[in-house]
Amino acid sequence: MDNAVFALIALFVLGFGAISGRISKSILTPPMIFTLFGFLVGAGALGLVDLEMDHPMIHLLAEITLVLVLFTDAARINLKRLRSEHNIPVRLLAIGLPLTIVAGALIAMPLFPHLGIWGALVLAVVLAPTDAALGQSVVTSPEVPVRIRQALNVESGLNDGIALPVLLFFVCLAVAASGGMESRVNWLVLVTSQLTIGPLVGIAVGYFGGKLVIICSQNGWMDASFERLSSLALALFAFAFAEWAGGNGFLAAFCAGLTLGNTTQGLCASLYEFAEAEGQLLTLLTFLLFGAVMVPAALEHINGTIIIYALLSLTLVRLLPVALSLIGLSLKGQTLLFLGWFGPRGIASIIYGILVLETAGLAIREEIFTITVVTVLFSIVAHGVSAWHASHWYGNQVASHEDACEHQPVSEMPVRIRT
């Protein structure tokens, strides 16, 4: 991209910011608009953004965005409150997430038999994390009971980090399935080291790094601006050090954020401020590149089978596990439908798809990536358009039932990066 294209993108960001307040009251969402703009300036239309999927800039943006998303998502979750008050997201994560992966794989196997069982599981895990920010009004609307909107908020904050080690494990098995026993053993050793070293590094960085920042801040050695920047530094340090030590940097970033958020409360306010600005920009630029580079490439290979799987992934694969995981909580049918529908696939699925695409030795990686892109594209539109209307409809459905369990008071945790 030349300077003129960068100027055009900067002007677009400025223009979007100028009307962002008005757009927030419409059915349009930032991911929808940035994806559409990316498509218009990308290979799908004007061709101004002419990048290949293996371009270093895409890889760098994806890595930094995922590190920040995993770190900030985890940091905003209070585990003590989660255990004591938020039984709905606990059920969704402990029961619903595994069932979603199983359901996604079972549907993928007959539709894409050449993927094999491990490839089907890789695809299912890539599409398992949800992104509540795609329908931001769902987790911010006062019409939706706080217990329900917080359930979606907390679920989307943790399921991407929980799904990551599962993804690494199944990618390992999918690659090893095409090689001999020696290859299989090597991959298992590699994944084992990544799944152990990464979390250990993350926990250490989150705990000791957070304490260091608090001490420096309390003694007047660090000003407020660098306190905000320290969150990014801790996330990137956890990632880089874990990768250097042979672990998985993304798991380290997730564990660092989780540790920081639950041991160093005083730093979290600055972290959220940073995420609202710099983190949002990275996320929206990812959606822009998604529309400019990934969508046109995927549309060249789209077919009826991929469309069917994408639609099932956003409906049956999500709705049934949600309903099964919440049995016994006395929730209304409308609540189960609302929670089941709002499982948007967004930034985590995009970046996990890129990670799969970059996995050497995985012959089916391009097809998995294409299916992922189509599913996320459908989700951006469907969940974005329906968010406001569905929130209003659901709010009216439960408003007259003040004694229902949906209205049980729970503590609120910060919402995910606003997109």
Segment 1-42, tens digit of pLDDT: 667 788 888 899 888 888 877 777 777 888 999 999 999 998
* CB-based contacts of 309, cutoff 8 Å, min separation 6: 107, 108, 111, 112, 371, 375
The answer to whether residue 157 is domain-embedded is yes
Query: Of 259 and 2, which is predicted with more confidence?
Result: 259
| Any domain includes 92 | yes
Contacts of 4-10 with CB under 8 Å at 24 or more apart are 5/41, 5/48, 5/49, 8/41, 8/48, 9/41, 9/285, 9/288
184 pLDDT more than 80: no
pLDDT tens sequence across 377-400: 999 999 989 988 888 899 888 887
State how many domains the chain has: 1
The whole-number pLDDT of residue 16 equals: 86
**pLDDT at residue 338 above 90?**
yes
Give tens-digit pLDDT for 263-275. 876 655 666 666 5
CA-nearest of 390, 339, 345, 417 to 86 is: 339
Averaged pLDDT score across all residues of the chain? 86
Q: How confident is the model at residue 405 (pLDDT cuts 50, 70, 90)?
A: confident
For residue 264, the enclosing domain spans: 29-407
Cβ-based neighbours of 413, under 8 Å, separated by 6 or more: 76, 77, 78, 81, 150, 153, 154, 157
Least confident of 113-122, 193-202, 324-333: 193-202
Say what the pTM is: 0.91
On the question of pLDDT at 417 being above 60, the answer is no
Quick check: is 22 in a domain? no
Between residues 84 and 374, the one the model is more confident about = 374
Chain centre distance of CA 216:
32
% pLDDT > 90, the chain: 40
Any idea which of 201-215, 223-237, 252-266, 353-367 has the lowest mean pLDDT? 223-237
Q: Which residue has the higher pLDDT, 190 or 168?
A: 168
pLDDT at 320: 96
Share of the chain above pLDDT 70, in %: 91
* Residue 85 is assigned to a structural domain of this protein: yes
Most confident among 320-324, 360-364, 407-411 (mean pLDDT): 320-324
User: Domain containing 250 — which CATH number?
Assistant: 1.20.1530.20
248 domain residue, yes or no? yes
Q: Which of 126, 14, 103, 169 has the alpha carbon at shortest distance from 312?
A: 103
382 burial class (0-12, 13-18, 19+ CB within 10 angstroms)? middle
pLDDT at 180 over 60: no
Domain presence at residue 152: yes
Q: How far apart are CA 144 and CA 138, in angstroms?
A: 7
In a domain, 6, yes or no: no
Q: Please give the C-alpha separations between residue 128 and each of 50, 159, 211, in angstroms, as whole numbers.
A: 30, 8, 34
The answer to whether residue 130 sits within a structural domain is: yes
